Structure 1
Amino acid sequence: MTSAAPPDVSSWVAGRCAEAGLGTPGAGELVHDRPWSSAAVFPTGDGRVWFKANGEGTRQEPAVVRTLERIAPGLAPQVVAVDADRGWWLTRDAGPTLRSVLPAGEQWPVWEALLPRYAAAQLELAAHRAELLALGVPERSPATLPEQAADLVEELAATDPARGGLTPRRRAALEARLPAYGQWCAELAADGLPWTLQHDDLHAANVCWQGSAATARVIDWGDASIGHPFGTLLATLNSLARHGQATLEDARVLRVRDALLEPWSGLADRSTLLRSVELARATGPVTRALAWRAALRDAPVEAQVEFDFPVRGWVEEILAG
């Protein structure tokens, strides 16, 4: 059940709409209120606008989207206004989500067309790593992940298992896995591909659809990090397989994978690219754990319970690698 947007939010949105020439917005509707962000939608005389308030762990998102507007125009939502101090921002409506308008079985060609656009943007953004890091985008690259993984294991080992921590047995298993994890990261770092911005949660609910893959826009960049470009494929391929009732070896899933690889084919041979997909997916659970830790920063334990202790859950995924 939705509720009205708070008065201070409505007032801020009205002011920003007036400055942008969008007229006076109608009543805002609070769409979600999570520990990491809240969002509300407002009608205007020139289409809907979306308000978002980011928590501390994802405060860099509007700056990331503004950078995308400049370097990869059309890939992300159009920003209307930002209040960086409060983590508030406003964007133009980018359309309904892909998941809400197309059944999973009809999405395969969309992903085959969308991912080359996304990869082309990653190639451009690789030259802007320093700028993105300065904006607060975290680095979760093969160079930093081994230490970050070890820190997570230590942190979780010091936490009560009833509050999302590790049992002694699971701690021992993870500590025994860390040397292999470091080797995967080292091999991935040596593949010659530049580290760049990767979304880390790219699935059909984070793509807005306007009828064509050429005009689709990717939303929800709060989990994005600087890392290996193929890190994206952990969330994307898993989601496609799950919702499309397919295995990861299904030909449709592999075509989507190859669509992302094609723009990188000038930088490495196919066998290297395929091996890097395996390694990026094997090391990627730590980036997901770090994203959840940032999102749930200062959140009550009930929020972690709601999502089944996702930091621990993702860290333990490296045992399956």
Structure 2
Amino acid sequence: MPVDLWSSTAFHEEARAWVQEQARPLGIRLTGAWEQPHNRPWSSAMSFESDAGRLWFKVNGPGIRFEAALVDLLGKVVPDLVPEVLAADHERAWSLTRDAGPTLRSVAPPEELWAWWEGIVVRYAEAQLVLADHRDAMLAAGVSEASPATLPAQTRALVEELAARTPDDGGLTREEVAGLEALLPEYDAWCAALAASGVPDSAQHDDLHSSNICWTGAVETARVIDWGDTSVGSPIATMLCTMNSLAFHAGCEVDDPRVLRVRDAYLEPFTAYADRAELVELVTLARRTGAVTRAMSYQHAFHGEPRSAEAEMDWPVRGWLLELHEL
């Protein structure tokens, strides 16, 4: 299991040696202090103190090993969206970045974040439109496609896979299979509408919430981290995670006016492709189809892991797939 490897002394020494090797040509010297605050089946992160501030080392598991290459690409194409990328080893799925500040969630309570969110999502949407011109490069980096063109077949494959497993093994009951299969024609129509909208495929972070945004006091310097759930698809599907997270932490409904103001701010850069009423409808469709991208992101995260790892999180692949009935 990667968690066991990444927590070993040998790995810590190897990671530290690599970080120092990458930092030295930049005139950066490690000062000795380090910690490993994150160590999960899909990735691990270590922080290293240096004479130039804190540095972050990250390693990804086999299902999301593309993140190092993607972050490397983002650092070149939309450098103001991500922490400064100092090094990336695509083969080993290792990356090294400068610290970009504390997470947004840690600096203020939810009720104080609304105005900041409205500015952050505009910057993120603008970056997505830039990245739409780099679709092939993202796919070449290993990011999977989960677009309106591919999702109908991917959804059927996922239903079929879970139908072959028992509920105790993260699978579906016969009733759940029947319910999802009955929904597939409608799902196809949602995807077709998204494909016909003209909004280009791009990077879809799929986990954009306040713990994945670094904040140093201004919207202009906010940075987005943790790109391991990213797919290439409808950029608007980002609103599934973001709107759900905003509502959850604020203790309100997804249709709360404050959540909808963030949605509307996010949509502003997309008005070149559709009018506002159509874009609002596309958010509804993309949130529905996005349940499958969330399911697949967990499928990728647990790639190569024993079923028990997924069971500990109450079978999120199945859970997100069944959300199709709720969105």
User: In the alignment, what sits opposite 2:160?
Assistant: 154
Amino acid in structure 2 at the alignment position of 1:280 = A
Q: How does 1:1-321 map to 2 (within 5 A)?
A: 6-321=12-327
Aligned equivalents of 1:7, 1:71: Cα separation in 2: 32
Q: CA deviation at 1:110?
A: 0.8
Aligned equivalents of 1:114, 1:85: Cα separation in 2: 32
Amino acid in structure 2 at the alignment position of 1:136 = G
Moved more, 281-290 or 128-137: 128-137
Amino acid in structure 2 at the alignment position of 1:197 = A
Aligned equivalents of 2:326, 2:313: Cα separation in 1: 20
Q: CA deviation at 1:144?
A: 0.5
TM normalised by structure 1 equals 0.96
Q: CA deviation at 1:14?
A: 1.9
Aligned equivalents of 1:24, 1:181: Cα separation in 2: 52
Moved more, 67-76 or 240-249: 67-76
RMSD: 1.3
Secondary structure of residue in 1 paired with 2:30: coil
Q: Is the 8 A contact 1:153 1:171 kept in 2?
A: yes
Secondary structure of residue in 2 paired with 1:28: strand
TM normalised by structure 2 equals 0.95
Give the total of aligned pairs.
319
User: In the alignment, what sits opposite 2:4?
Assistant: none
Q: Is the 8 A contact 2:69 2:89 kept in 1?
A: no
Q: CA deviation at 1:19?
A: 2.5
**Per-residue Cα deviation, 1:16-73 (whole angstroms, up to 9, x for no partner):** 2213211134232111111110111110001000111111111111221222222212
Q: CA deviation at 1:213?
A: 1.0
- Unpaired segments ≥5 residues, structure 2: 1-6
Moved more, 221-230 or 57-66: 57-66
Q: CA deviation at 1:236?
A: 0.2
Aligned equivalents of 1:139, 1:291: Cα separation in 2: 11
Moved more, 280-289 or 129-138: 129-138
Amino acid in structure 1 at the alignment position of 2:225 = I
**Per-residue Cα deviation, 1:191-222 (whole angstroms, up to 9, x for no partner):** 11111111110000000001111100000011
Runs of 4+ residues over 2 Å off in structure 1: none
Aligned equivalents of 1:192, 1:13: Cα separation in 2: 43
Secondary structure of residue in 2 paired with 1:128: helix
Aligned equivalents of 2:251, 2:74: Cα separation in 1: 32
- Unpaired segments ≥5 residues, structure 1: none
Aligned equivalents of 1:159, 1:218: Cα separation in 2: 36
Aligned equivalents of 1:110, 1:71: Cα separation in 2: 24
Q: CA deviation at 1:160?
A: 2.2
Aligned equivalents of 1:157, 1:89: Cα separation in 2: 37
Q: CA deviation at 1:245?
A: 1.2
